[in-house]
Amino acid sequence: MSTTLYPKNVTGHITMVASKSQTIRALLIATFAKGKSIIHNALESDDTFACITVCRAFGATITVLADNSLLVQAPQTFPDSIAVDCGNSGTTLYLATGLAASIACPVTFTGDEQLQNRPLGELLRALTELGVAVEALRPGYPPFTIRGPITGGTTTIECHSSQYLSALLLGCPLGTNKSTIYVPLLNERPYVKMTTSWLDNLGIAYESSPQMDKFSIAGQQTYLPFGTTIWGDYSSASFFFCSAAVTGGCVTVSGLDPDDSQGDKEILPVLEAMGCTVTWTDTTSVRVCGPKKGSLQSGVFDLNAMPDALPVLAVTACYAQGKTMLTNVPQARIKETDRITSMRKNLVALGARVEEEEDALVIYGNGELPGGPCKGFGDHRIIMAMAIAALGAKNPVTIDSTAAVAVTFPTFFSLLEQISEEIVHA
């Protein structure tokens, strides 16, 4: 399905959908807890539906309550063997792998074609060092089969994706002995802090160095059932923040936690540095106003903690004046697509001057984009970024494969329409 979008002004107020990262963590931890947990305001998307399917394969009973909350009854015992299909959800694949490694039955993981090209060799190697048996047709990629339990010991892992470490942190407390993890490389640190917040809130014992380069986790621990409410997703909100930036409009987004550990929260100071005004209007709502159109400022921005913001900030940089560098984000190449290359191709197709480096995008903005056709690459964040590009373009922008937004944000286009205004030419 292709979608053509036209230049528009933006103004208005929306309530943000729930965090995908938090919803998936809640579902998986509840499945390995002892008893019934309840999750309020869970995200409804293809990724979270895939996670629910995985949890049910482990034996969990998941019931949708009258207020759309999810009641999760953890299994008393796990099946003798388990096969799970994670669909397109990389977060589910990585985190479920860590938890599945704690149980003494074979668990086979697969996913769609795109997911089968997501690398996790470092994670599987680390699990092997901690006592887990691993079999894979293509080493380091799905489909693969693991069999626990995690017996403990010491491992060293380079975390090109933070989800490698999060997977170990979730699984190791359920192992039989103490595990020690050395982490010489760690990208996306805020997402590890999100995981350790879950461990803290659920009383899991572990030790972490201040630099987050060593973790020690006691074994034979238990996840207790819990109740939680999922806050709005900063990754999804970033597209609406940037819609104001590229058009010179004002957008208020509600349902956000200002103290959330989500890395993409840091897009707000980036937009301030580019000339936007950011104001918290109450404890859960933030208002972003862009400067006069064509007046955004360029800069150098380190995106290691928020790689998902790369596509939409690359778009925003096209509407700035001068050279913008989006740096230190090598992990953007191992997402649903190689987002560094894909965004360069798309923005060049729309008339921008863009260069790519091994771990960066360099955008030479002149305050505008001509528009034209571009590709979605089957990647929800690229599709949404190109939709934001269309708002300020001189001509319409046509994006193919737009149905992929349902992976994390099925209501994206309807919310975008809610704040969009036709441009009236005098």
- Which positions are catalytic? 308
* Pair 196, 170: CB distance under 8 Å: no
- DSSP conformation letters of 265-325: GGHHHHHHHTT-EEEEEETTEEEEE--STT-EEP-EEE-TT-GGGHHHHHHHHHTEEEEEE
| Beta pairing partners, 227 | 38
Helix (H, G, I), strand (E, B) or coil at 363: strand
Kindly give the pairing relationship between strand 82-85 and strand 320-327.
unpaired
b/e map 313-334, b = 16+ CB within 10 Å: bbbbbbbbeeebbbbebbbbbb
Q: Which residues 6+ apart lie within 8 Å of 417 measured at CB?
A: none
Q: Give the E-state strand segments of 192-235 in sequence order.
A: 206-208, 214-217, 227-229
56's tokens: 């049910």
Position 20: which residue type? Answer: K
Cβ atoms within 10 Å, residue 151: 13
Instruction: Say if residues 177 and 219 touch (Cβ distance below 8 Å).
Output: yes
- List the strands of the sheet with 153-159, edge to edge: 153-159, 179-186, 214-217, 206-208
Q: Residue 244 in contact with residue 252, Cβ under 8 Å?
A: no
201 by DSSP, 3-state: which?
helix
The whole-angstrom separation of Cα 398 and Cα 338 is 21
By three-state DSSP, how is residue 142 classified?
coil
